[in-house]
Amino acid sequence: MIYFIRDATSGLLEKVRKDILQNTMELVRLFKEREELSRIIASVKEKENFEIRDRRREEIVLNKLGNLSPRQRSILNMIFEFSISCQDKVDETLEVYLSERCLQLSGENSILEYVAGLLSSRPGSEIYSSRELDSAFVLGAVRNGAHIINDSCDSPDLRIGHSRDKEIYHISLDDSGTMSLNPVILQVNFSFTRVQVD
């Protein structure tokens, strides 16, 4: 669709927002369909003893799509990983035993913020915060595909705090250059989408 901007009061913003909502609804429908198709492919691959990851197939898709911008290629890679995650079954023999003790990292605050951003994000995850986030944290989170939301989350899956109170946070950072990490977030079966940064 092509829009011509005539003046600020033309209702264009609402029209485009309505079209974007329709587009988003269609994308969600297509992702649900893709999830089902990926599970069918997983079943066939399992019966035929094929690997889940198939770079040759990805290259066929890339060639059919032609020239993609770096941003489009990045989104396509996330779609590939989405499909693979729908097919992949966690191998219980690979489950890593992690102790109940808190892991600690020490270093410069900006590096720890970046690492916290990486650890607390996945493609499509939502990071909520009412406070201004450290730019290093935002960089790590956005590079991992997270979406930053300037608001608070009532029911987060994962909590990050900037205090020494490690009991209520999965990740806590303090001003002395220490990051405490609950090892549960490193387990393969730990799933999160909504992250609250206090």
Which of 89, 122, 142 terminates a domain? The answer is 89
pTM for the model: 0.60
Q: Is 74 part of any domain?
A: yes
Mean pLDDT for the chain? 84
The domain containing residue 60 runs over which residues?
12-89
62 lies in the same domain as 139? no
112 lies in the same domain as 82? no
Three-class secondary structure of residue 95 per DSSP: coil
As a whole number of angstroms, the distance between CA 111 and CA 127 comes to 19
Q: Model confidence over 26-59: pLDDT tens digits?
A: 999 999 999 899 989 988 998 999 988 888 999 9
Q: What distance, in Å, lies between the first and last C-alpha atoms of the chain? A: 41
Which of 89, 115, 144 terminates a domain? The answer is 89
In the chain, the number of structural domains is 2
115 lies in the same domain as 166? yes
Q: What is the mean pLDDT of residues 163-179?
A: 83
184 lies in the same domain as 149? yes
56 lies in the same domain as 126? no
